[in-house]
């Protein structure tokens, strides 16, 4: 009888093994190996293992008023793999279910199932961070089944009946349950190893892509670097298309849909906008969730991951697929890992650019200090006043001296707003002596922000541009206004002139790094320094209309701190 019983129970174990294999291919399988699980995830695991355990009871064979079964397989595996909470609750549910079925062994078997789940969970806790293997599972299974047999003998009203039952089911149940536990855990272990290998391959792929992208991202996030990186990702993955954006526009789109998803376009999809607004990964499992307004778009699902620079969202990485719900958990992790590496590369590129810009700013500032045109114009103005107005000539000499003295302090990265304005005043005093009544200056500066910290050589280059490029070409001259006030948690600064303005084609170029050939610290340099110090939301904003003038605005955090010697 024992042989027949063993064969039947082993057949039941084969069914459980199939269930274990199917389970190992589901998303729920990955929950068992998370460091922390949510209550909902724990509920999923408890439901699964309770179903296995209860099924083990119904798969059982009636023997002399009892049930020879493989119920304990579910509660023990739950505890060993998922810990005391899942193991204990699974044991409690399936144990109470067994008690409800009745029989002279019901209470003993129910208690054993509960104890088995708790014991396995305790072993899981003691072995952390190592996951129990099949040998530990077999040992635990043998111990729990023998405890069950002993409990049946102790609690039974008829020792003879209990002994007859134990003699016939002990070996088959021990063999079947331990075999079931070992098979289940081996399948899970192999599936986990496979997932680990796939994850390692994905990591290796991400590092290869990151290594290939590094030379491009050294240039920062721009259309050229974005297109090169997108093409690299597309060639090394199964994606249908890859795109990179900044906060307002698509910088690149390579692959399917490039007939309407084009570099330079404003952001087209709601998924991208949602990602930028939330700063969180956005998954789109259907065209509706992607939110592309183009009819017939071939892109069916997407992973949209934010790119960060200095803790601010600076753009997104988008990986598209040609099928709905095509992304796996590994694909999502891959995209997140890649975006994290790219963000780090962009931040490092920003730091490198900031260092280079600081060096260039210092060199350009030193050149600007001895700019022969400015120096000669100032000296000629002073010479012309020496006979007619010696006192004013003396004042201008002092201002010229102050201008050069302040300029020589370029080793300081930050100054107070008051000091920067004093530098501007020295420059404007000299220029006003040249222009006379043709140059009008209006200043509106809040008193409570005079000690705010600002990067050095920020205002003077903007004012100089307003005078030289805005007003110099106008015979009647004009007005330059300088305003600075507190706006919430920021300080808003604006330099405006009513000069000749900037043409639209030129307006698109003035902030491009390296634009212009002047010796001074240009708009692009000021813009890049503000962007790298405070982030992309603090770059220069230029409003201009030909014939009517130009306004340059920027904001800095009111709480920003720099080192002022």
CB neighbours of residue 509 within 10 Å: 12
Distance CA 25, CA 178 (A): 23
Distance CA 95, CA 462 (A): 79
Whole-number pLDDT of residue 95: 93
pTM of the model: 0.48
| Together in a domain, 258 and 187 | no
Closest of 474, 471, 485 to residue 553, by C-alpha:
485
Task: Report residue 269 CA to chain centroid gap.
Answer: 19
- Could you tell me how many helices (H) and strands (E) the chain has, helices first? 17, 14
Residues 459/539, Cβ–Cβ less than 8 Å: no
pLDDT band at 531 (very low <50, low <70, confident <90, very high): confident
Residues 284/302, Cβ–Cβ less than 8 Å: yes
pLDDT band at 66 (very low <50, low <70, confident <90, very high): low
Q: Which residue has the higher pLDDT, 256 or 402?
A: 256
DSSP calls for 93-134:
HHHHHHHHH-STTHHHHHHHHHHHHHHHHHHHHHHTTSPP-H
Residues 78/117, Cβ–Cβ less than 8 Å: yes
Closest of 191, 244, 237, 171 to residue 4, by C-alpha:
171
> CA 167, 172, 173, 178 torsion: positive or negative?
positive
Whole-number pLDDT of residue 520: 43
The CA distances from residue 547 to 462, 474, 500, in Å, are 19, 10, 4
| Together in a domain, 466 and 374 | yes
| Together in a domain, 43 and 159 | yes
Q: Is 517 exposed, middle or buried (0-12, 13-18, 19+ CB in 10 A)?
A: exposed
Number of domains in the chain: 3
pLDDT band at 6 (very low <50, low <70, confident <90, very high): low
> Does 353 reside within a domain?
no
Q: Which residue has the higher pLDDT, 103 or 556?
A: 556
What CATH number is given to the structural domain containing 512?
A: 3.30.565.10
Residue 66: its H or E element: strand 66-68
| Together in a domain, 243 and 378 | no
Assess whether pLDDT exceeds 70 at residue 308. Answer: yes
Give me the mean pLDDT over the 467-495 stretch: 89
> Does 209 reside within a domain?
no
At a CB cut-off of 8 Å and minimum separation 6, what does 162 contact?
104, 105, 152, 153, 156
Whole-number pLDDT of residue 300: 93
What CATH number is given to the structural domain containing 246?
A: 3.30.450.40
Domain containing residue 390: 370-557
The residue among 290, 310, 345 that closes a domain is 345
Give me the mean pLDDT over the 22-44 stretch: 70
- E-assigned strand segments in 246-345: 250-255, 282-284, 301-309, 312-321
Assess whether pLDDT exceeds 50 at residue 293. Answer: yes
Whole-number pLDDT of residue 413: 72
Residue 490: its H or E element: strand 490-497
> Where is average pLDDT lowest: 231-235, 313-317, 360-364?
360-364
The residue among 197, 231, 252 that closes a domain is 197
Closest of 495, 384, 519, 378 to residue 443, by C-alpha:
495
DSSP calls for 256-275:
TTTTTS-TTSBP--HHHHHH
At a CB cut-off of 8 Å and minimum separation 6, what does 372 contact?
none
Looking up tokens 């990602």 gives 275
> CA 350, 353, 358, 364 torsion: positive or negative?
negative
Distance CA 392, CA 399 (A): 10
Assess whether pLDDT exceeds 70 at residue 395. Answer: yes
CB neighbours of residue 443 within 10 Å: 13
> Does 212 reside within a domain?
no
Give me the mean pLDDT over the 166-178 stretch: 83
> Does 449 reside within a domain?
yes
Looking up tokens 């810990």 gives 83
> Does 204 reside within a domain?
no
Residues 359/227, Cβ–Cβ less than 8 Å: no
The residue among 197, 231, 254 that closes a domain is 197
Judged by DSSP in three states, 414 sits in strand
Whole-number pLDDT of residue 345: 75
Span 421-431, pLDDT tens digits: 988 888 888 88
Whole-number pLDDT of residue 257: 92
Whole-number pLDDT of residue 294: 87
| Together in a domain, 79 and 123 | yes
Whole-number pLDDT of residue 497: 94
Residue 141: its H or E element: helix 134-155
> Does 207 reside within a domain?
no
Whole-number pLDDT of residue 356: 66
Looking up tokens 């201002």 gives 399
What CATH number is given to the structural domain containing 66?
A: 1.10.1760.20
Span 347-389, pLDDT tens digits: 777 666 666 666 566 545 544 544 555 666 667 777 776 767 7
Q: Is 411 exposed, middle or buried (0-12, 13-18, 19+ CB in 10 A)?
A: exposed
> Does 159 reside within a domain?
yes
Whole-number pLDDT of residue 359: 57
Distance CA 460, CA 426 (A): 10
> What average pLDDT is seen over the chain?
81
Q: Is 3 exposed, middle or buried (0-12, 13-18, 19+ CB in 10 A)?
A: exposed
> Does 381 reside within a domain?
yes
Assess whether pLDDT exceeds 50 at residue 518. Answer: no
The CA distances from residue 275 to 167, 251, 429, in Å, are 65, 16, 50
pLDDT band at 155 (very low <50, low <70, confident <90, very high): confident
| Together in a domain, 295 and 381 | no
Q: Which residue has the higher pLDDT, 52 or 559?
A: 52
CB neighbours of residue 259 within 10 Å: 11
Span 173-202, pLDDT tens digits: 888 888 888 888 887 777 777 766 766 666
Residues 73/94, Cβ–Cβ less than 8 Å: no
Assess whether pLDDT exceeds 80 at residue 12. Answer: no
| Together in a domain, 180 and 277 | no
| Together in a domain, 177 and 279 | no
Angle at 201 between CA 197 and CA 206, to 5 degrees: 145
| Together in a domain, 261 and 178 | no
Judged by DSSP in three states, 452 sits in coil
> Where is average pLDDT lowest: 75-79, 141-145, 335-339, 355-359?
355-359
Judged by DSSP in three states, 291 sits in coil
Judged by DSSP in three states, 513 sits in coil
Residues 507/527, Cβ–Cβ less than 8 Å: no
| Together in a domain, 381 and 332 | no
Whole-number pLDDT of residue 370: 47
Residues 265/250, Cβ–Cβ less than 8 Å: yes
> CA 40, 45, 48, 51 torsion: positive or negative?
negative
Pairing status of strand 453-455 against strand 414-416? antiparallel
Distance CA 428, CA 437 (A): 13
Assess whether pLDDT exceeds 70 at residue 320. Answer: yes
Eight-state DSSP code of residue 470:
I
Distance CA 225, CA 353 (A): 15
| Together in a domain, 187 and 223 | no
Describe the crossing of helices 523-534 and 329-369 by its angle, rounded to 10 degrees. Answer: 140
| Together in a domain, 125 and 61 | yes
Span 251-281, pLDDT tens digits: 999 999 999 998 888 888 888 999 999 999 9
Judged by DSSP in three states, 38 sits in coil
């Amino acid at each position: 009888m024992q042989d027949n019983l063993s064969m039947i129970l082993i057949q039941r174990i084969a069914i459980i093994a199939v269930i274990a294999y199917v389970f190992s291919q589901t998303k729920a399988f990955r929950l068992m190996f998370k460091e922390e699980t949510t209550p909902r995830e724990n509920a999923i695991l408890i439901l699964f293992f309770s179903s296995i355990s209860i099924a083990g009871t119904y798969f059982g064979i009636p023997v002399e008023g009892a049930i020879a079964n493989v119920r304990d397989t579910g509660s023990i595996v739950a505890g060993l793999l998922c810990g005391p909470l899942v193991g204990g609750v699974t044991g409690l549910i399936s144990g109470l279910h067994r008690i409800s079925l009745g029989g002279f062994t019901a209470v003993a078997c129910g208690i054993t199932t509960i104890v088995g789940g708790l014991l396995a969970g305790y072993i899981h806790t003691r072995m952390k961070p190592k996951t129990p293997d099949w040998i530990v599972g077999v040992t635990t299974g043998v111990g729990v089944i023998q405890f069950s047999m002993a409990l049946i003998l102790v609690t039974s009203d008829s020792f003879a009946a209990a002994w007859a039952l134990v003699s016939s089911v002990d070996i088959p149940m021990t063999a079947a349950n331990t075999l079931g536990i070992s098979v289940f855990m081996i399948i899970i272990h192999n599936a986990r190893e496979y997932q680990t290998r796939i994850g390692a391959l994905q990591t290796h792929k991400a590092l290869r892509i990151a290594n290939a992208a590094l030379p491009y991202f050294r240039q920062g996030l721009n259309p050229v670097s974005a297109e090169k990186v997108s093409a690299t990702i597309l060639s090394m993955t199964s994606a249908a298309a890859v795109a990179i954006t900044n906060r307002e526009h698509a910088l690149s789109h390579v692959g399917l849909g490039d007939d309407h998803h084009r570099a330079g376009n404003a952001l087209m999809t709601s998924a991208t906008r949602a990602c930028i607004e939330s700063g969180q990964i956005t998954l789109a499992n259907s065209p509706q969730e992607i939110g592309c307004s183009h009819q017939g778009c071939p892109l069916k699902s997407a992973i949209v991951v934010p790119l960060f620079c200095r803790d601010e969202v600076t753009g997104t990485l988008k990986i598209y697929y040609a099928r709905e719900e095509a992304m796996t958990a590994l694909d999502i992790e891959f995209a997140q890992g890649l975006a994290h590496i790219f963000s780090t590369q962009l931040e490092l590129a920003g730091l490198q650019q900031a260092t280079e810009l600081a060096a260039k700013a210092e060199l350009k500032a030193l050149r600007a200090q001895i700019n022969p045109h400015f120096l000669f114009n100032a000296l000629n103005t002073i010479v012309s006043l020496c006979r007619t107005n010696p006192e004013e000539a003396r004042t201008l000499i002092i201002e010229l001296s102050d201008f050069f003295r302040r300029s020589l302090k370029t080793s300081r990265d930050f100054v107070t707003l008051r000091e920067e304005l004093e530098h501007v005043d020295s420059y404007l005093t000299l220029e006003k002596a040249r222009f006379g009544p043709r140059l009008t200056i209006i200043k509106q500066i809040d008193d409570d922000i005079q000690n705010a910290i600002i990067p050095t050589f920020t205002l003077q280059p903007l004012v100089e541009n307003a005078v030289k490029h805005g007003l110099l070409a106008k015979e009647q001259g004009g007005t330059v206004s300088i305003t600075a006030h507190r706006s919430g948690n920021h300080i808003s600064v604006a330099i405006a002139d009513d000069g000749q303005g900037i043409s639209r084609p030129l307006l698109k170029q003035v902030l491009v790094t390296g634009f212009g050939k002047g010796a001074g610290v240009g708009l692009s340099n000021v813009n890049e320094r503000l962007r790298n110090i405070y982030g992309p939301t603090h770059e220069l904003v230029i409003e201009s209309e030909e014939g009517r003038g130009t306004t340059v605005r920027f904001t800095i955090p009111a709480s920003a701190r720099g080192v002022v010697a």
